[in-house]
Amino acid sequence: MAALKIKKGSTSHSAYNLRPNFSDVLERHTLAVRVDNEPGVLARVIGLFSGRGYNIESLTVAEVDHTGHQSRITIVTTGTPQVIEQIKAQLGRIVPVHEVHDLTVEGPAVERELGLFKVAGTGDKRVEAMRLADIFRANVVDTTLESFVFEITGAPEKIDAFADLMRPLGLQEVARTGVAALSRGAE
Protein backbone atom coordinates (compact mmCIF):
# COMPACT_ATOMS: atom_id res chain seq x y z
CA MET A 1 0.00 0.00 0.00
CA ALA A 2 1.48 3.42 -0.99
CA ALA A 3 1.81 6.17 1.59
CA LEU A 4 -0.30 9.27 1.10
CA LYS A 5 1.74 12.29 0.12
CA ILE A 6 -0.06 14.84 2.28
CA LYS A 7 2.00 17.52 3.93
CA LYS A 8 1.19 17.72 7.66
CA GLY A 9 -0.70 20.83 8.61
CA SER A 10 -1.08 21.92 5.02
CA THR A 11 -4.74 22.73 5.34
CA SER A 12 -6.77 24.46 8.00
CA HIS A 13 -9.27 21.59 7.78
CA SER A 14 -6.74 19.09 9.11
CA ALA A 15 -7.35 17.69 12.56
CA TYR A 16 -3.64 18.25 13.16
CA ASN A 17 -3.16 21.83 12.07
CA LEU A 18 0.55 22.22 12.74
CA ARG A 19 0.96 25.63 11.17
CA PRO A 20 2.23 28.12 13.73
CA ASN A 21 -0.26 30.83 14.66
CA PHE A 22 2.43 33.04 16.15
CA SER A 23 2.85 36.63 15.09
CA ASP A 24 6.35 37.89 14.36
CA VAL A 25 5.33 41.55 14.58
CA LEU A 26 7.09 43.44 17.38
CA GLU A 27 4.81 45.52 19.57
CA ARG A 28 5.68 48.17 22.16
CA HIS A 29 3.92 47.71 25.51
CA THR A 30 3.87 49.70 28.74
CA LEU A 31 3.58 47.54 31.85
CA ALA A 32 2.72 48.87 35.32
CA VAL A 33 3.85 46.53 38.09
CA ARG A 34 2.98 47.11 41.77
CA VAL A 35 5.53 45.46 44.06
CA ASP A 36 6.60 45.39 47.69
CA ASN A 37 9.12 48.13 48.43
CA GLU A 38 11.92 45.96 49.75
CA PRO A 39 15.56 45.30 48.81
CA GLY A 40 16.11 43.01 45.84
CA VAL A 41 12.66 43.27 44.23
CA LEU A 42 13.83 45.45 41.35
CA ALA A 43 16.78 43.11 40.75
CA ARG A 44 14.41 40.14 40.55
CA VAL A 45 12.12 41.91 38.08
CA ILE A 46 15.03 43.03 35.91
CA GLY A 47 16.60 39.57 36.20
CA LEU A 48 13.48 38.13 34.60
CA PHE A 49 14.08 40.31 31.53
CA SER A 50 17.83 39.84 31.27
CA GLY A 51 17.69 36.10 31.93
CA ARG A 52 15.40 35.56 28.97
CA GLY A 53 16.96 38.10 26.64
CA TYR A 54 14.05 40.57 26.68
CA ASN A 55 14.81 44.24 26.16
CA ILE A 56 13.68 47.10 28.39
CA GLU A 57 13.30 50.41 26.56
CA SER A 58 12.34 52.42 29.64
CA LEU A 59 12.22 51.76 33.36
CA THR A 60 10.94 53.99 36.16
CA VAL A 61 10.48 53.07 39.81
CA ALA A 62 9.04 55.03 42.72
CA GLU A 63 7.35 54.37 46.02
CA VAL A 64 3.60 54.99 45.65
CA ASP A 65 2.28 53.81 49.03
CA HIS A 66 4.51 54.76 51.95
CA THR A 67 2.34 53.15 54.65
CA GLY A 68 1.83 49.95 52.64
CA HIS A 69 5.49 49.85 51.56
CA GLN A 70 4.65 49.43 47.89
CA SER A 71 6.35 50.74 44.77
CA ARG A 72 5.31 50.98 41.15
CA ILE A 73 7.62 49.88 38.37
CA THR A 74 6.73 51.17 34.91
CA ILE A 75 8.43 49.16 32.16
CA VAL A 76 8.32 49.84 28.42
CA THR A 77 9.32 46.78 26.41
CA THR A 78 8.96 45.39 22.91
CA GLY A 79 8.22 41.89 21.75
CA THR A 80 5.83 39.69 19.86
CA PRO A 81 2.36 39.29 21.40
CA GLN A 82 3.40 35.86 22.69
CA VAL A 83 6.54 37.26 24.35
CA ILE A 84 4.54 40.08 25.99
CA GLU A 85 2.04 37.55 27.39
CA GLN A 86 4.93 35.44 28.67
CA ILE A 87 6.52 38.47 30.35
CA LYS A 88 3.25 39.38 32.08
CA ALA A 89 2.68 35.80 33.27
CA GLN A 90 6.23 35.48 34.61
CA LEU A 91 6.07 38.87 36.34
CA GLY A 92 2.85 37.80 38.06
CA ARG A 93 4.59 34.72 39.48
CA ILE A 94 7.31 36.69 41.29
CA VAL A 95 6.39 36.65 45.00
CA PRO A 96 6.64 40.39 45.89
CA VAL A 97 4.60 41.38 42.79
CA HIS A 98 0.99 42.35 43.64
CA GLU A 99 -0.37 43.49 40.26
CA VAL A 100 0.71 43.53 36.62
CA HIS A 101 -1.18 45.80 34.21
CA ASP A 102 -0.54 46.10 30.49
CA LEU A 103 -1.55 49.73 29.94
CA THR A 104 -1.23 49.28 26.18
CA VAL A 105 -4.12 46.81 25.94
CA GLU A 106 -6.25 47.76 28.96
CA GLY A 107 -7.54 50.95 27.38
CA PRO A 108 -6.45 54.54 26.98
CA ALA A 109 -3.43 55.61 29.03
CA VAL A 110 -1.43 58.76 29.55
CA GLU A 111 2.35 58.49 29.07
CA ARG A 112 4.78 61.27 29.89
CA GLU A 113 8.53 61.60 30.03
CA LEU A 114 10.91 64.35 31.09
CA GLY A 115 13.98 65.18 29.05
CA LEU A 116 16.90 67.52 29.66
CA PHE A 117 18.83 68.67 26.57
CA LYS A 118 22.12 70.55 26.51
CA VAL A 119 22.44 72.45 23.24
CA ALA A 120 25.60 74.42 22.42
CA GLY A 121 25.59 77.05 19.72
CA THR A 122 25.95 80.69 18.84
CA GLY A 123 24.37 83.09 16.40
CA ASP A 124 21.62 81.75 14.15
CA LYS A 125 21.77 78.25 15.65
CA ARG A 126 21.14 79.71 19.09
CA VAL A 127 18.15 81.69 17.84
CA GLU A 128 16.76 78.63 16.01
CA ALA A 129 17.15 76.46 19.13
CA MET A 130 15.16 79.02 21.15
CA ARG A 131 12.46 79.17 18.46
CA LEU A 132 12.09 75.37 18.38
CA ALA A 133 12.05 75.21 22.18
CA ASP A 134 9.19 77.69 22.17
CA ILE A 135 7.24 75.58 19.65
CA PHE A 136 7.74 72.44 21.75
CA ARG A 137 7.00 74.33 24.99
CA ALA A 138 10.42 73.47 26.39
CA ASN A 139 11.70 75.55 29.29
CA VAL A 140 15.18 76.97 29.54
CA VAL A 141 16.50 75.82 32.94
CA ASP A 142 20.12 76.92 32.47
CA THR A 143 21.94 79.19 30.07
CA THR A 144 25.45 80.40 29.37
CA LEU A 145 26.84 82.46 26.51
CA GLU A 146 27.59 79.23 24.59
CA SER A 147 24.79 76.83 25.58
CA PHE A 148 21.28 76.16 26.86
CA VAL A 149 19.79 73.39 28.94
CA PHE A 150 16.18 72.77 27.94
CA GLU A 151 13.59 70.88 29.98
CA ILE A 152 10.75 69.26 28.06
CA THR A 153 7.92 66.99 29.12
CA GLY A 154 5.53 65.03 26.97
CA ALA A 155 4.94 61.76 25.21
CA PRO A 156 8.11 59.84 24.29
CA GLU A 157 7.47 60.61 20.61
CA LYS A 158 7.54 64.36 21.37
CA ILE A 159 10.85 63.98 23.21
CA ASP A 160 12.28 62.01 20.25
CA ALA A 161 11.13 64.66 17.77
CA PHE A 162 12.68 67.46 19.83
CA ALA A 163 15.99 65.58 20.00
CA ASP A 164 15.98 65.02 16.22
CA LEU A 165 15.50 68.75 15.59
CA MET A 166 18.16 69.81 18.11
CA ARG A 167 20.90 67.52 16.76
CA PRO A 168 21.89 69.77 13.83
CA LEU A 169 21.74 72.82 16.12
CA GLY A 170 24.44 71.53 18.49
CA LEU A 171 22.86 68.94 20.77
CA GLN A 172 25.60 67.93 23.24
CA GLU A 173 23.94 65.78 25.87
CA VAL A 174 20.56 64.23 26.70
CA ALA A 175 19.13 62.90 29.97
CA ARG A 176 15.68 61.25 30.01
CA THR A 177 13.64 60.02 32.96
CA GLY A 178 11.83 57.16 31.28
CA VAL A 179 8.09 56.79 30.85
CA ALA A 180 5.63 57.43 33.65
CA ALA A 181 2.16 56.16 32.72
CA LEU A 182 -1.36 55.90 34.15
CA SER A 183 -4.53 54.46 32.70
CA ARG A 184 -7.27 56.98 31.97
CA GLY A 185 -10.70 56.92 33.56
CA ALA A 186 -12.09 56.03 36.97
CA GLU A 187 -10.57 52.55 37.28
Residues 6+ apart with CB under 8 A from 103: 29, 30, 31, 32, 109, 111, 181, 182, 183
CA distance readout (Å), 118 to 7, 37, 57, 169: 61, 34, 22, 11
Name the CATH superfamily for 27-102.
ACT domain (3.30.70.260)
Report the CATH architecture of 109-183: 2-Layer Sandwich (3.30)
**Are the C-beta atoms of residues 143 and 149 closer than 8 Å to each other?**
yes
In the predicted structure, residue 124 carries a pLDDT above the cut 90: yes
The total number of residues shown for the chain amounts to 187
More confident residue, 110 or 17: 110
Mean pLDDT of the chain: 89
In the predicted structure, residue 17 carries a pLDDT above the cut 60: no
Residues 51-94 pLDDT 10s: 888 999 999 999 999 999 999 999 999 999 999 999 999 999 99
Buried/exposed code over 124-160 (b: 16+ C-beta within 10 A; e: otherwise) = eebebbbebbeebebeeeeeeeebbbbebbbebebbe
Strand, coil or helix: 130: helix
Q: In the chain, where are the structural domains located? A: 27-102, 109-183
Determine the pLDDT at residue 185.
86
Helix (H) or strand (E) holding 124: helix 124-135
Determine the pLDDT at residue 16.
60
27-102 with 109-183: one CATH topology? yes
pLDDT category of residue 31 using cuts at 50, 70 and 90? very high
